[in-house]
């Protein structure tokens, strides 16, 4: 899967100037001091740009300081998940690239969990070339904390063998596409993998969540004659917050038509996670914004397998380039970019008379005293 073309125009804006990148602790403290918010600030931009400049260096994902930074970020997110959940609304956590976790007062669910830039869907153990990933302790903690995991499609940057195996062996619910389940059908834990049928009027109930599903594709070509099955999920929490993930659906026509049906049936979208790119067809990001006014947490950022080994660059896009290129797309909602380990509280949940998409920002990770520094 390749979304690099969508971001190519913005890469030149964020190429490192040749100055030495900041030391890891300075980068960490800069991010902590300027947490994500719906109102973007110059100080936040500076902190993200400094992190971008370090990551843009050739083979940064193989560098011990970047790996240590990533581990520290994962620890921070897991520490927060293990503490008191939000009293209302949702708490959104960003991990690697498209991987997010959503915590509610009642449950924890994840979308496209992936621990790092590993291209083998049949294993994600230690790799002699790329050691960037989670530790066994991280994965074990994730499996204790996450109740339900959703995967939009089977590409290596949206699903992870070791995480999926551990979740299944821990008795957790893992939702995948039919083709993804077929790929793992011989695994002893494959019986735990669930495939949900497409919905129009009647949603699924998964745990305490209400889940609508669209079956679509990540198309391989402009004529849409071949592609990878890709689901969109509209997940509604018990408190009424609607979370949409389109995965890598790269033509927006079917998605937007389905969302119009969802809206007509009373569903709404408060938060969209993932990439707003549609690189094999019509881009309907603006139409989704007009329909729901959502917060769009920009994902698929810094997926390292999308750049050539030994070359500098932003892979699927830097934090700052993604934010700059998407801010003009949204007239009613708001884009936000979270880096590894960061989290953002959104609330309160939908109340009578509240317009779709009027979920408000409550608190960010910087305000929580338990976060690992």
Six-digit token pair at 56? 């843009």
Q: pLDDT at position 18, please?
A: 36
Residue 74 has pLDDT above 80, yes or no: yes
Distances (CA, A) of 275 to 27, 37, 190, 244, 301: 25, 18, 28, 11, 8
Which residues have C-beta within 8 Å of that of residue 313, sequence separation ≥ 6?
11, 15, 56, 307
Q: pLDDT at position 157, please?
A: 82
Residue ranges of the domains in the chain? 61-301
User: 142 or 121, which is more confident?
Assistant: 142
- pLDDT band (50, 70, 90) for residue 4: very low
- pLDDT band (50, 70, 90) for residue 347: confident
Six-digit token pair at 353? 């008379």
Distances (CA, A) of 206 to 172, 181, 210, 294: 11, 18, 6, 23
Quick: pLDDT tens for 171-213: 999 999 999 999 999 999 999 999 999 999 899 999 999 999 9
Distances (CA, A) of 245 to 12, 56, 101, 366: 28, 27, 12, 26
Q: pTM here?
A: 0.88
Q: pLDDT at position 329, please?
A: 84
Per cent of the chain over pLDDT 90 is 71
Six-digit token pair at 219? 């198309």
Q: pLDDT at position 55, please?
A: 95
Residue 322 has pLDDT above 50, yes or no: yes
User: In CATH, what class is 61-301?
Assistant: alpha beta
DSSP secondary structure letter of residue 325: H
Mean pLDDT of 51-69: 95
- pLDDT band (50, 70, 90) for residue 153: confident
- Distance separating alpha carbons of residues 311 and 191, to the nearest angstrom: 41
């Amino acid at each position: 899967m390749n979304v690099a073309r969508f971001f190519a125009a913005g890469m030149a804006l964020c190429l490192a100037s040749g100055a030495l990148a900041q030391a890891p602790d300075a980068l960490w403290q800069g991010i902590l001091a300027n947490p994500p918010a719906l109102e973007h600030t110059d100080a936040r931009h500076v902190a993200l740009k400094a992190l971008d400049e370090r990551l843009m260096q050739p083979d940064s994902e193989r560098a011990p300081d970047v790996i240590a930074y990533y581990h520290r970020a994962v620890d921070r997110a897991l520490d927060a998940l293990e503490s008191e959940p939000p009293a209302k609304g949702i708490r959104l956590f960003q991990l690697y690239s498209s991987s997010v976790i959503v915590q509610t007062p009642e449950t924890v669910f994840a979308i496209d969990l992936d621990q790092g830039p590993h291209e083998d869907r049949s294993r994600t153990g230690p790799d002699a070339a790329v050691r960037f990933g989670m530790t066994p302790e991280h994965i074990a903690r994730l499996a204790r904390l996450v109740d339900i995991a959703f995967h939009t499609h089977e590409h290596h940057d949206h699903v992870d063998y070791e995480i999926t195996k551990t979740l299944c062996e821990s008795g957790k619910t893992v939702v995948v596409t039919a083709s993804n389940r077929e790929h793992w059908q011989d695994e002893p834990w494959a019986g735990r993998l669930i495939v949900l049928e497409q919905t129009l009027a009647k949603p699924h109930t998964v745990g305490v969540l209400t889940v609508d599903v669209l079956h679509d594709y990540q198309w391989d070509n402009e004529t849409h004659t071949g592609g990878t099955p890709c689901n969109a999920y509209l997940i509604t929490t018990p408190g009424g917050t609607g979370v949409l993930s389109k995965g890598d659906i790269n033509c927006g026509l079917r998605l937007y038509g389905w969302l119009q049906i969802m809206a007509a049936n009373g569903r709404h979208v408060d938060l969209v996670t993932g990439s707003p790119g549609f690189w094999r067809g019509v881009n309907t990001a603006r139409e989704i914004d007009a329909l729901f006014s959502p917060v769009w947490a920009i994902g698929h950022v810094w997926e390292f397998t999308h750049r050539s080994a030994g070359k500098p660059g932003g892979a699927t896009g830097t934090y700052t380039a993604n934010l700059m290129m998407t801010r003009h797309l949204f007239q009613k909602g708001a884009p936000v970019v979270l880096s590894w380990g960061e989290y953002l509280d959104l609330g309160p949940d939908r109340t009578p008379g509240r317009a779709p998409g009027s979920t408000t920002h409550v608190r960010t990770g910087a305000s929580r005293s338990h976060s690992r520094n």
